[in-house]
Amino acid sequence: MMAFRFPLKALRRVRALYERRERQRLELLTHHLVHAQKQLATLRQDRLEGAGSLAKSLEKGMTGAELRFQVVCSVVRQRRINAAAQVVESVSQQHKRQLIEYRQAWQKLEVMERLYERQLFAYRKTQARRDQQQATDLFLICSQAANDRQ
């Protein structure tokens, strides 16, 4: 009995490695995207807390220098938010591109896996036929031998 050999075994392995690499890249970008979104949310929350603090300070009264300092802090907070939003947008675009790359790699692997499965099924079917034919031939030989002895 011959063992099953898939002629495109090397290509199948390459496609599997490529799909795995693209999946890992996608997972890494997903992690970066989640981190950037959390950082942006934290900065926005910080801005809200700063605005609340400014409102309370204005109610109590503050000096002009303190007010200027609070305004500068507010501007800095907004710049950090804008920078973080740009990072989120950039990582989001990279994530979308990587998702497309991963899907293509996965589809190529799936094609190869389906081809492998079809060829393996055909091999097993052929092998089963051979086994059945051998069993039939053996039965006929044994039957003939038994008839010859009688």
pLDDT band at 1 (very low <50, low <70, confident <90, very high): low
What radius of gyration do the chain's Cα atoms show?
Answer: 35
What is the value of pTM for the model shown?
A: 0.75
What percent of the chain is helix, strand and coil (3-state, nearest 5)? 90, 0, 10
Domain ranges of the chain: 9-121
The pLDDT score that the predictor gives to residue 57 is 86
Q: Both ends of the chain: CA-CA distance in Å? A: 34
Supply 103's token pair. Answer: 């899907």
Task: State the amino acid at position 145 in one-letter form.
Answer: A
Q: What is the CATH number of domain 9-121?
A: 1.10.287.1700
- Using pLDDT thresholds of 50, 70 and 90, give the confidence band for residue 143: confident
